[in-house]
Chain A
Amino acid sequence: MFAALIFYMFAGLTVASGVAVISARNPVHSVLFLILCFFNAAGLFLLLGAEFLAMVLVVVYVGAVAVLFLFVVMMLDINVVKLREGFLQYLPTGALIGLVLLLELTVVFAGWAFAPDVEALVAAPAPTADVASNTEALGRLLYTTYAYLFQASGVILLVAMVGTILLTLRVRAGGRKQKIADQVARRAADTLEIRKVPTGGGI
């Protein structure tokens, strides 16, 4: 009973803040609602017993991604009112398509069934808490059974990094670049000169 209440609180707030993200007038408010949404989703994960995912969601998405969004939104001068032009014009079509999709999915999910011997097929069943903690179980899977996928994800991130640098890095002609080696190699004797200043006189 209590768990159900908590679930509905988290789920309701997730949906409500999700709606607020796209309807808020001020983009900064949108990002803040997004953070609220992430927190509630983390709460849902906790209810499922996936405490590691819950913490990762908070640390990575709230701590890094949402804050990055906040910076981007504040630095870019986005005119939301201008972006919203024609929003009402597309609203009926979008709402209609969304409604049809919702109905179809309701039909699909209302009569949901599982394959007969689905338990036997499950690739990596979660161990109970007394065998291994959530984090440990995930780590074991990630670095053994799913090592290929783990490495492949690494390659994707590398490609993303190369692509970002390629598309955005511009070497300016007159730019002053820090040359650490030169800085370290500088000695006091090269730049400093010690002079005796007579009392009452200038240099």
Chain B
Amino acid sequence: MSDTLDLLPVLPEIFVALAAMAMLMIGVFGKGEGVRPMTMLGLAVFTVAAVLAWMLGGERTTTFGGMFVMDSFAGTVKVMILLASALTAAMSVSFLEREKLGRFEYPILMVFATLGMMMMVSANDFIALYLGLETQSLALYVLAAYNRENARATEAGLKYFVLGSLASGMLLYGVSLVYGFAGTTSFDGLARLFGGEHPVASHAGLIAGLVFVVAGLAFKVSAVPFHMWTPDVYEGAPTPVTAFFAVAPKIAALALFTRVMIGPFGELADQWRQVVTFIAIASMFVGSFAAIGQNNIKRLMAYSSIGHVGFVLVGLAAGTAAGVQGVLVYLAIYLFMNVGTFAVILSMRQKGRMVEGIDDLAGLSKTNPAMALVMAALMFSMAGIPPLAGFWGKFYVFMAAVDAGLFTLAIIGVLTSVVSTFYYLRIIKVMYFDEPSESFDKPLSRSVGIVMAVSTAVVLLFSFLPGPLLSTAKAAAVALFPQ
């Protein structure tokens, strides 16, 4: 530990924290700024922070006595998180204004949640991890209940809060067991303990702690069997908040999961692989079978995201650099697919009211051919049909699993992926072959249209230019493993 404090690696976080406080000041003391100018400010903050994170995410540097780490893994994931937050923030403005929910705190809470996610991704110590996680979660609980006049939104917020607190409790209990065994909460210290010259034999208390940590993290990524909160929260929360929930926190929590498993517990891979494999298989099953009976598109997206988490965990179960690369590629593609789909869901309005039923999409190909085409491309991509981007995400995680010798896991993954195709295709069938119902209100809000176009373009064109993402993901994945 050097004596001088190096603040450069924390620069993006410091910037975001100070910017959030400045926005708070502007909101409180300004002349009643609504949600729109504040969101513009928020977008500027996200952009600057992404540039900073991208520039700093090269060499691995730690600061604050090794509690905070900035490497290319953290840099890459932070850029993804900031991009996801910016896209979902841009989409929410017109919705909030129409529903008379436009209060200036909304973008500020999004910025705070994003700050928590950035802290999670850069955590190199269990206490730092926990504090990042709580910053994120607290802001998310409030966002879920943001529409406080609506009973379902309040219920969603309360449910999320209670179950999230339970998950934090489990995580902390696991951490305390690990700490009781090792005497340190530092990731570097733990990695040295398990992988040094005299590796420590595993011990029942340590394994119990590890399992509790995995359970807590599985809760945060909504993996089965800790997924029960997801459909209710996704359905109850206002739609832009659901869009935010489905993307940025998922990416952050999965990246955190990956860092914790590969970093401090990398040498204990044999111990956690069974647990992660089980969670992955269960998530893929529930994600594909439980979604079939859903009629509400937000609930369907909740189960779909549970399934996607299962696929991502397949890459983590491999525990290799290729597996982590697959995780990152999957997350990047998942970001665009989900943001695009939620842009479509946000434009599902009939006679000035939001509709959420899958039946409401009936005959979209006749009433709005462009939007139907976009939705069809996104659904095909989610199902993993080549040459769309979603296929490559699945390809890399399954290849990593096969290379690591996890054939059963890969085969189950492919089979459940086929099952999940059913409900994605059902949406396409409803849009193209059912009689048109009421058409959706026009015109679209401009920002929603732009987000829809950008994400569809990425999903369609990824196959032609996969190089940059693959090489970035590879560099980021390698950074997690000791050279």
Contacts and interface: CB of A to CB of B under 8 A. Distances in A.
A114 B67 CA distance: 23
Contacts of B338: none
B112 A159 contact: yes
A23 interface: no
A113 B109 contact: no
Given A159-B138, A163-B109, A163-B141, A152 B128 contact: yes
B353 interface: no
Contacts of A167: 142, 145, 148, 157
B68 interface: yes
B256 to A, nearest CB: 15
B198 interface: yes
Interface residues of A, number: 33
Q: Is the interface of B mostly helix, strand, loop or mixed?
A: helix
Contact of A152 (B21, B131, B157): B131
A163 B139 contact: yes
Contact of A123 (B157, B180, B181, B189): B189
Given A111-B204, A153-B131, A160 B138 contact: yes
A145 B109 contact: no
A153 B135 CA distance: 8
A180 interface: no
Interface string B109-127: 1001001100100000001
A139 B382 CA distance: 52
Contacts of A121: 182-184, 189, 193
A158 to B, nearest CB: 8
A8 interface: no
Contacts of A116: 198, 200
Contacts of B64: 145, 147-148
A119 B10 CA distance: 30
A156 interface: yes
A50 to B, nearest CB: 16
Contacts of B103: 166
Interface string B164-183: 00000000000001001111
A156 B109 CA distance: 11
Contacts of B157: 167
B24 interface: yes
B412 to A, nearest CB: 29
Nearest to A120: B183
A158 B20 CA distance: 11
B368 to A, nearest CB: 35
Which of A107, A111, A116, A121 has the most C-beta atoms of chain B within 10 angstroms of its own C-beta? Answer: A121
Q: Is the interface of A mostly helix, strand, loop or mixed?
A: helix
A104 to B, nearest CB: 8
Contact of A113 (B119, B132, B205): B205
Contacts of A155: 17, 112, 115-116, 135
B205 A108 contact: yes
B236 to A, nearest CB: 15
Interface residues of B, number: 47
Contacts of B142: 159, 162-163, 166-167
A110 to B, nearest CB: 9
A42 B401 CA distance: 51
Given A111-B204, A166-B103, A167-B145, A159 B139 contact: yes
Contacts of B198: 116
B134 interface: yes
A131 interface: no
Interface in A90-148: 104-105, 107-109, 111-116, 118-119, 121-123, 145-148
B105 A149 contact: no
B311 interface: no
Contacts of B112: 155, 158-159, 162
B134 A156 contact: yes
B204 A123 contact: no
A175 B189 CA distance: 58
Nearest to A153: B131
B138 A109 contact: no
A123 B187 CA distance: 12
A80 B108 CA distance: 38
A149 B183 contact: no
Nearest to A114: B181
B68 A148 contact: yes
Interface string B207-238: 01000000000000000000000000000000
Nearest to A107: B204
B186 interface: yes
A166 B146 contact: yes
Interface string A158-176: 1110110111000000000
Nearest to B1: A145
A87 B457 CA distance: 55
Contact of A162 (B17, B105, B181, B182): B105
B135 A122 contact: no
B132 A118 contact: no
Given A108-B205, A163-B139, A166-B105, A123 B186 contact: yes
Interface of B: 5, 10, 17, 21, 24, 64-65, 67-68, 103, 105, 108-109, 112, 115-116, 119, 127-128, 131-132, 134-135, 138-139, 141-142, 145-146, 148, 157, 177, 180-186, 189, 193, 198, 200, 203-205, 208
The 10 closest A-B pairs by CB, nearest first: A163-B142, A118-B183, A148-B64, A152-B131, A121-B184, A121-B183, A122-B183, A166-B105, A108-B208, A159-B138
Given A104-B208, A115-B200, A146-B67, 15 more contacts: A108-B177, A112-B205, A113-B205, A114-B180, A118-B183, A119-B183, A123-B186, A148-B68, A149-B67, A152-B131, A155-B112, A159-B112, A159-B142, A166-B146, A167-B157
29 contacts: A104-B208, A108-B177, A108-B208, A115-B182, A115-B183, A116-B198, A116-B200, A118-B182, A121-B182, A121-B183, A121-B193, A146-B127, A147-B5, A148-B10, A148-B64, A148-B128, A152-B119, A152-B135, A155-B17, A156-B134, A156-B138, A158-B112, A159-B138, A163-B109, A166-B105, A166-B142, A166-B146, A167-B142, A167-B157
